[in-house]
Amino acid sequence: MRGGAQSHLMRCTDGKDPDIYCVVKFQNNPQHSRVLVNELLGNRIAGRMGLPVPRVEIVRVDADLIRWTPALCIEMPRSSTPCCPGLQFGSAHPGDPRRMTLHDFLPDEQLREVENITDFAGMLVFDKWLCNTNGRQTLFFRKSENGGGYRASGTNRDTSTPGSGTPGSSSSRATENAMEYERYSTVMIDQGFCFNAGEWNYPDAPLRGLYARNRVYEGVNGMEAFDPWIRRAKNISARALQEFVKEVPPEWYCDDFDALHRLVEQLLRRVGRLEELILDAKRSSRQPFPNWR
């Protein structure tokens, strides 16, 4: 897969479903083993806030699979090394990658019509709170391209009706038209640079956390656009965060629990600064919220 962590798309199983496709980041990725912690905690927190993030799992990759799969390696400038076996971080693909098309860019008109575009405001609250020092990464997809797992709005996907799939038939044309006008959804991916990646600190800056295109913030008329997300962040208790921490394999943070504990303590203190951090972004030279009154 693209990206500095050199993650791999892998087919996984939970013992019941043999076809769970996950983007897997390994402990010995070039960025830092702590980015796996950031991914797990970040996705758990974002999910608790009701934001559109992928299902995430801890994935066990056996040494034999790595030994017999030359592609499972980390490429360095002058050498490569096998991915390490053991527990890794897995982010579930939004659908069957053999059938689904993902986009990391949409033209302006389609971007405006993304059905959950208001979630970009909520994701900015998240990114400011967790100090994501990378640009906000998103993917766009149509739910009907999920190999049949979703149903396109206004279409009939039951192909048992005689003639329903016949090219040129009225039902076929209706399905094609519905697919053409179906709106995209977005999923927010890659929380590895929350907490400033492997540094585990909070170097705030006005532009950090903002999505690259202001169009996603056209619905922001004032601080009230962020208030629901800020309230959700403030409602996440210390106990809930500690439950998330318990999920993290100690080898991901080299058994330095004190450092992880300090990280969470600072996060709890930061929640009171969210309005301030949003206002700092508003006042920046970029002017990301064109309709803020």
140-170 per-position pLDDT tens digit: 999 877 643 333 323 333 333 334 444 455 5
- Per-residue confidence (pLDDT) for residue 160, from 0 to 100: 36
Instruction: Provide the β-strand partners of residue 91.
Output: 23, 56
- Per-residue confidence (pLDDT) for residue 293, from 0 to 100: 87
Instruction: Provide the β-strand partners of residue 8.
Output: 24
- Per-residue confidence (pLDDT) for residue 95, from 0 to 100: 84
DSSP state of 293: -
Residue with tokens 């912690």: 37
* Least reliable range by pLDDT among 45-49, 88-92, 108-112: 108-112
- Per-residue confidence (pLDDT) for residue 174, from 0 to 100: 52
Long-range Cβ contacts of 81-86 (<8 Å, 24+ apart)? 81/28, 83/8, 83/26, 83/28, 84/26, 84/27, 84/28, 85/61, 86/27, 86/60, 86/61, 86/251
Phi and psi at residue 280, to the nearest 5°: -60, -40
Give the percent of the chain with pLDDT over 70. 88
Is the per-residue pLDDT at 173 higher than 80? no
Is the per-residue pLDDT at 263 higher than 60? yes
Measure the CA–CA gap between 69 and 23, rounded to whole angstroms. 16
Q: How wide is the angle at C-alpha 58 spanned by C-alphas 13 and 200, nearest 5°?
A: 160
Q: What are the residue ranges of helices labelled H in the chain?
A: 34-48, 63-67, 108-112, 119-130, 170-181, 227-234, 238-246, 257-270, 274-282
Q: 3-class SS at 196?
A: helix
Dihedral Cα 162, 165, 167, 173, nearest 10 deg: 110
Give the percent of the chain with pLDDT over 90. 79
Is the per-residue pLDDT at 90 higher than 70? yes
Dihedral Cα 209, 211, 217, 222, nearest 10 deg: 10
* Least reliable range by pLDDT among 26-30, 66-70, 151-155, 276-280: 151-155
Listed residue (271, 278, 270) closest to 220, CA to CA: 278
* Least reliable range by pLDDT among 35-49, 140-154, 262-276: 140-154
Range 3-15 average pLDDT: 93
Q: What's the mean per-residue pLDDT of the chain?
A: 89
- What is this structure's pTM? 0.88
Phi and psi at residue 225, to the nearest 5°: -65, -25
Is the per-residue pLDDT at 182 higher than 50? yes
- Per-residue confidence (pLDDT) for residue 11, from 0 to 100: 94
Q: 3-class SS at 78?
A: coil
Residue with tokens 């360095």: 76
Is the per-residue pLDDT at 282 higher than 80? yes
Is the per-residue pLDDT at 45 higher than 90? yes
- Per-residue confidence (pLDDT) for residue 165, from 0 to 100: 46
